[in-house]
Amino acid sequence: VNTNARIVIVGCGISGVAAAQRLVKAGFHNVRIVEATARSGGRIKTGRLGNNIVEIGANWIHGPSEENPVYHLARQYGLLDPEALTPENQAMDVGGHPPWVPNIFSSSGRKLNVEDLYPALEMFAELLDESSEFQSRGGEPWTNVGDFIRSKVQQRAAEKWKDIDGTTRSLRLSVISNMLKVECSVNGAHSMDEVGLGAYGLYKTLPGLDCTFPGGYEGLVKNLMSVLPAGLVTYSQPVRCVHWNNTEKRGYPVTVECDDGNKIAADHVIVTVPLGYLKKHHSTLFHPPLPLHKLHSIQRLGFGTNNKILVEFDSPWWDTDCEVIHLVWEDEDAMVDQVPDVQRYWIKKLFGFTVLKPTERYGHVLCGWIAGHESEYMETLPEQEVSHAVTQLIRRFTGNPTITPRRIMRSQWFHDPWTCGSYTHPGKGCSAQDLQNMMEPLPTKSSQSQPLQVLFAGEATHPCYFSTVHGAVLTGWREADRLISHYSSSSSSELTMS
Ligand code: 6YU
């Protein structure tokens, strides 16, 4: 294998690190990573709230079981709690929605009886499952998940809930609105009306009950990086433009131009920048520009915002066994997941909180979730204003005017200039072909020029695990393997020729 090839990786998120680790292990010694910020990890970002280790980006290992590379690595590095390692934990197939114990509060300051709301929760869960079944036959007559769910709930409520009193029916429909907001957060979308029904089923889940990293998700990045030679990453070095198809004879086919004017010649570049960044900067990031089919897929795929608002309390106002808190607005029986006036009502988009467990480790810390344009607006407000809005919200829903958070912290992924949002979802009109186009290297096959000049990794390029850390890892390995097998086969053909 010819291991002299010069390979530049743009971005030191987990996909870039995974690609570098694989290439270095295969013996490539001219590998470097160029990263815009001063740190590794990208959307894996561990911070502190008081004495607590908290996640600002990725939170869970989704589906921690044998097939999940993140689970494998985390286990190998000794980063998980014993419960996560049990066979029972790995065998639980939760379909992407862990069966967390809920507490449900309403906007009139009542804690609702969860059993009364089961019919709505169950109907919603069924419809989400059905939304996955449209793959490859489009979503006709619906284009998006939001429309599909609304029309089906209307139909089924008319049949099944016809003898139910108006107040209960209205409350159940308000619960559907809350569940739509949950899905906006899960999918990283402004509204479920923006998530394509035809492609919703592309996303695949793995078995295993979602678990966290007690010492922080960044431990995964650090361990994976420990095998890389010192100095392999250049930090605070944003890439401005990838010039490919360079025509000068005997030169390298690609030049990576940095913001400070630095130019790096390469045989291959692996681009791992987030889809949000690509959407915004594709026209200046590539010269010559991307082929149209690739560009159209970048535009069709969705990249929305999902942010966290972490809040610490002196004492809990939720049940001891509670794992998730839902806040149901009683005036939202129209099954809506967007607020009418973002500046005034942005806080209504926050679906509720997940509870950081175990309590012995975290104390009383909640993680609030808010997606969409409302979340992007929240990012522009001073932290104090966010804190005030959250305090008022909790006081209203609990009916307890004395609850006061001790500390608060929020993420701002939309205004992060190197991310421009949170993660990928299939937009309206998307199909499996769009994810294939995302991962296709440049130049495309028909071209006569040097192959594999620009390769693409990152969560948005995984055909079924997009939006996740395990998806990102697999794409880094995939592109490294593409180069490794390219050089194995070209050296073997050289051998055959000689
Ligand atoms: C997961 C989870 N999780 C919450 C929140 C967020 C995300 N994810 P990176 O961005 O990391 O790296 C790119 C680098 O490039 C970066 O360092 C940049 O600085 C750099 N760069 C950019 N421009 C550059 C330039 N010009 N020059 C040089 N460098 C440049 N995933 O598994 N579990 O719990 C969550 C969550 C708030 C923001 C998440 C979660 C997503 C992961 O964080 C993400 O996929 C990977 O970290 C990305 O790694 P990367 O290397 O690709 O990019 C249909 C349907 C489906 C349902 N889907 C839902 C599934 C659930 C998804 N859930 C996510 C949930 C949470 C809560």
For the residues 269-286, what does the mean pLDDT come to? 98
* Candidate from 467, 475, 478, 479 with most ligand 1 atoms within 8 A of CB, to mutate: 467
Alpha carbon of 168 to ligand 1 centroid (Å):
39
Q: What is the pLDDT of residue 371?
A: 98
Q: In angstroms, what is the span from residue 461 Cα to ligand 1's centroid?
A: 12
Tell me the HSE value of 70 on the side-chain side, using a 13 A CA sphere: 33
Q: Which whole number is the average pLDDT over 316-330?
A: 98
Question: Which residues have CB under 8 Å from 251's CB, separation 6+?
Answer: 265
Confidence at residue 496, expressed as pLDDT on a 0 to 100 scale: 41
| Distance (Å) from CA 422 to ligand 1 centroid | 6
For residue 290 the two structure tokens come to: 């991307």
Q: Is 42 helix (H, G, I), strand (E, B) or coil?
A: coil
Tokens 């809040």 -> residue: 311
ipTM over 0.90: yes
Predicted confidence at residue 242, as pLDDT, reads: 98
Cα torsion angle, 418, 18, 49, 394, sign: positive
Of 151-160, 248-257, 388-397, minimum mean pLDDT range: 248-257
Q: What is the pLDDT of residue 497?
A: 41
Could you tell me if residue 255 is left (phi over 0), alpha (psi between -120 and 50 degrees) or otherwise beta? Answer: beta
318 lines ligand 1 (CB under 6 A): no
49 lines ligand 1 (CB under 6 A): no
User: Ligand 1 centre from 98 Cα, in Å?
Assistant: 20
Q: Is 239 in the pocket of ligand 1 (CB under 6 A)?
A: yes
Q: What is the pLDDT of residue 247?
A: 80
Tell me, what's the pLDDT at 491? Answer: 57
The CB of 59 under 6 Å from ligand 1? The reply is yes
Q: Ligand 1: which atom is nearest the Cα of residue 237?
A: 28
- 306 alpha carbon to ligand 1 midpoint, in Å? 11
Q: By mean pLDDT, which of 129-138, 165-174, 215-224, 353-362 is the weakest?
A: 129-138
Q: Is the CB of 413 under 6 A from ligand 1?
A: yes
Model confidence pLDDT, tens digit, residues 332-348: 999 999 999 999 999 99
pLDDT in the model for residue 328? 98
Span from the CA of 423 to the centroid of ligand 1 (angstroms): 6
Q: Which one is predicted more confidently, 221 or 490?
A: 221
Ligand 1 atom with the shortest distance to the CA of 471: 45
Query: How would residue 139 be classed by pLDDT, with cut points 50, 70 and 90?
Result: low
Return phi, psi of residue 76, to 5°: -60, -40
Q: How far apart are CA 194 and CA 413, in angstroms?
A: 19
Mutate to test the pocket of ligand 1, among 149, 423, 438, 465 (most ligand atoms within 8 A of CB): 423
Ligand 1 probe mutation, 183, 187, 202, 273, most atoms within 8 A of CB: 273
Q: Is the CB of 212 under 6 A from ligand 1?
A: no
Name, in order, each residue with C-beta under 8 angstroms of 12's C-beta and a sequence gap of 6 or more: 33, 35, 39, 40, 41, 42, 233, 235
- How many of the other CB atoms lie within 10 Å of CB of 123? 21
Atom of ligand 1 nearest to the CA of 411: 37
102-106 and 324-328 beta bridge pairing: parallel
pLDDT digits (tens, 9 = 90+) for 402-460: 999 999 999 999 999 999 999 999 999 999 999 999 999 999 976 678 999 999 999 99
Q: What is the pLDDT of residues 366-409, one digit of tens each?
A: 999 999 999 999 999 999 999 999 999 999 999 999 999 999 99
Q: Are 467 and 424 in contact (CB under 8 A)?
A: yes
Residue 495 has pLDDT above 50, yes or no: no
Find out whether the beta carbon of 37 lies less than 6 Å from any atom of ligand 1. yes
Residue closest via CA to ligand 1's atom 16 equals: 42
pLDDT tens-digit profile of 35-50? 999 999 999 999 999 9
Query: Which of 363, 357, 341, 353 lies closest to 309, judged by CA?
Result: 353
Residue 2 has a pLDDT of 74
Residue with tokens 């609030």: 368
* Nearest atom, ligand 1, residue 15 CA: 51
Question: Does ligand 1 lie within 6 Å of residue 409's CB atom?
Answer: no
Q: 217 is written with which tokens?
A: 């998700």
The per-residue pLDDT for 446 is 64
Atom of ligand 1 nearest to the CA of 59: 34
User: For 222-241, how does the pLDDT look when each residue is reduced to its tens digit (9 = 90+)?
Assistant: 999 999 999 999 999 999 99
* Element holding 496 (H helix, E strand): helix 469-497
Q: What is the DSSP letter of 349?
A: G
Residue 458's contacts (CB-CB under 8 Å, 6 or more residues apart) are 11, 13, 15, 271, 272, 273, 274, 275, 472, 475
Calculate the average pLDDT of the chain.
95
Would you place residue 322 in the very low, low, confident or very high pLDDT band (cuts 50, 70, 90)?
Answer: very high
Question: Per-residue pLDDT for 498 more than 60?
Answer: no
Instruction: Give CA separation, 445 vs 252, 296, 322, 442, in Å.
Output: 19, 18, 54, 8
Q: Which residues contact 223 (CB under 8 A, 6 or more apart)?
A: 73, 77, 79
> What number does the ligand 1 atom closest to the CA of 419 have?
10
**CB 45 near ligand 1, within 6 Å:** no
Determine the average pLDDT of the residues in 274-298.
98
Residue 490, pLDDT score: 66
User: Any idea which residue has 């019919």 for tokens?
Assistant: 119
Taking CA atoms only, the protein residue closest to ligand 1 atom 3 is 58
CA 211 – CA 61 distance, rounded (Å): 5
Q: What is the pLDDT of residue 98?
A: 87
For 108, phi then psi, to 5°, come to -95, 15
Site to substitute for ligand 1 among 12, 46, 59, 195, most atoms within 8 A of C-beta:
59
The verdict on the CB of residue 206 being under 6 Å from ligand 1 is no
- Give the tens place of pLDDT for each residue, 24-35: 999 999 999 999
What pLDDT was estimated at residue 494? 47
Q: Is the CB of 62 under 6 A from ligand 1?
A: yes
Q: Which atom belonging to ligand 1 lies closest to the Cα atom of 240?
A: 26
